[in-house]
Structure 1
Amino acid sequence: MNIQDIPTEIIQQVGEIRDMTFPTKQGHTSIVAILHTPDKKYIVKKTESPLYNEWLSEEYEAYEALQQLCLLGLPIPKAYSIHIQNQTRWLLMDHIEGITLREFLSKESVPHDKEKAIVSFARCLKKIHESPCPEALMKNDTDWLDNMLMKADYNLTNFTVDGTEALLKRIQEIRPTPITNTLIHGDFTLDNVLVHDGNIVGVIDWSGAAYGDPRYDVALAIRPKHNAFENDRDKEVFYNAYGKLRLTDEEYDYFEDGLYNFF
């Protein structure tokens, strides 16, 4: 991707683009670039496949619905527009200065500072789960898990996913006991939380935002990564700060080792 590839509509929105740089780590669903203008920086995300195009559109719709929650202190970036250009989609949004929490924790050697970051991570998720769910994200005609299982089936049939037919059959048959739904992020991983000077400054990639099962967020939050959640101590710090529910091993396996493999 270079500046000449940027849709004219985006250039008209941001004005002069003096430089374009790329984050050191890219996700697998989109190409992400930082646009540098005389006044500020923007993020532009580009997708090029039917599945990822759909997710990008859902992400834009979620940002639109979630803007009201910024007033409650949730660090959600502003999305300006989405553009369709042939078989690609482009999302324009605010740039947030920071690194992923995963990168921060992978390098952090001071136990106190590491635990402080995990506490902030957990409290951020608690705040999301306690926030009112915007009406636009409440699809009352279909249960959240029913909808996710239908999407899992569709994704398995039409796209390359980590899940298998046997795994899908298992999670369709062995479902966790229902609990009260809340606003959920839908992909609350260490990669989707940004920190600056050890403080959380942004939560990104909201394409899975919904009125859904909060255990899904919790399961993804505590997935083991390098120097993070590789031991029981990190999980205990997280749960103490989150203070709402603790997953059983069966619940963790269902959401993280099961459902998440189709997304």
Structure 2
Amino acid sequence: MKKRIIKLEELQLPRIFENVAGNSKIYDSSSSPAARVYFIDKDQGYFLKRAAKGSLEKEVALTRYFSSKGLAQQVLDYVSDEQDWLLTAKVEGEDASSKKYLDNPKKLCQTLAENMRQLHALEVDEHLVGNRTQEYLKAVEKGYQAGNFDSHYLFSHQKKMDTKATYQQVQEYSPYLEANTLIHGDFYLPNIILNNWQFQAMIDWDSAGLGDKHIDLFWAVWSLAYNLQTNRYRDYFLDCYGRENINLELLEAIAYFEVFG
């Protein structure tokens, strides 16, 4: 996690958070343009997330739910004013993209696959977590209509495809996406917190719900290749998860959807 120290005045905090953030070092650790994430270096540590008004409501509800299951960090406070603010407790450990874990890629693959299998085996009520596949397809359509196209997510053999051809693949594979598995929806290394290889929590639950497991598998494979700067551990990770439970064609097809996200 990259961190840049900032001044308290830059945040324009709601008054309720001033006691937490006051007299402490604050770092911007954001990784997405959709939201800002700040680390408050005080007590055991806090993370404060800021986003557009109403945009964190689902994440707050899901984080509270999964915290009760031992899968997420604790929600300390949530304010929806001119903007949304979410305060969570720091979880002990480091995210899975830390050097200590990247230096042992096979053990990292084993750890991620085990945690993913456990997540995918959980039974939850759709009314509690929502139908992620429906939301996912709506977001892809919205991205396509807005002209989004990020070929960065395509696999090497897909790179020559243009917007039209990629969208045709989205239409072809959409009927095959299921909504029968609890997924995180953004299962990439910085969202997985480990402490000496022991699972601690997953963060950023806004894309979770009952969806298709191949979305999580795609993000794990993509993130491993990105952080390790090699694709050589893809097959090993899939073997650790259980290749017999994976539709490899559908896994690669998820890339077509993600370019419009």
TM interval, shorter chain, is 0.7 to 0.9
The answer as to whether partners of 2:169 and 2:253 remain within 8 angstroms in 1 is no
- Structure 1 pair 89/225, CA: closer, same or farther in 2 (3 Å)? same
Q: Which residue of 1 aligns with 2:61?
A: 61
Match 2:45 to one of 41, 44, 49:
41
- Consecutive unaligned residues in structure 2, runs of 5 or more: 1-5, 152-162
1:85 and 2:81 matched: yes
Q: In structure 2, what is the Cα distance between the partners aligned to 1:7 and 1:28?
A: 21
* Deviation per residue, 1:181-231 (Å, 9 max, x gap): 111100101121123334433311111001111111111111122426611
Q: Which residue of 2 aligns with 1:261?
A: 259
Superposed, which structure 2 residues align to 1:150-169 within 5 Å? 150-158=138-146, 160=148, 162=150, 164=163, 166-169=165-168
Q: Secondary structure at the match of 1:22?
A: strand
Match 1:145 to one of 129, 133, 137:
133
Superposed, which structure 2 residues align to 1:1-263 within 5 Å? 2-4=7-9, 5-11=12-18, 14=20, 17-22=22-27, 26-37=31-42, 39-48=43-52, 54=55, 56-70=56-70, 74=71, 76-86=72-82, 88-104=83-99, 108=103, 113-134=104-125, 135-139=127-131, 144-158=132-146, 160=148, 162=150, 164=163, 166-175=165-174, 177=176, 181-223=180-222, 224-227=225-228, 230-231=231-232, 234-243=233-242, 245-255=244-254, 257-263=255-261
Q: In structure 2, what is the Cα distance between the partners aligned to 1:119 and 1:63?
A: 25
Root-mean-square deviation (Å): 2.9
Cα shift at 1:248:
4.1
Identity rate of aligned residues, in percent?
20
Cα shift at 1:122:
0.8
TM-score, length-normalised on structure 1? 0.77
Aligned length: 240
Q: In structure 1, what is the Cα distance between the partners aligned to 2:93 and 2:34?
A: 20
TM-score, length-normalised on structure 2? 0.77
Q: In structure 2, what is the Cα distance between the partners aligned to 1:183 and 1:45?
A: 24
Cα shift at 1:105:
6.7
Q: Secondary structure at the match of 2:98?
A: helix
* Deviation per residue, 1:79-138 (Å, 9 max, x gap): 23322332x321111112433322337851xxxx33112211111111111112254113
Q: In structure 2, what is the Cα distance between the partners aligned to 1:171 and 1:209?
A: 21
- Structure 1 pair 241/228, CA: closer, same or farther in 2 (3 Å)? farther
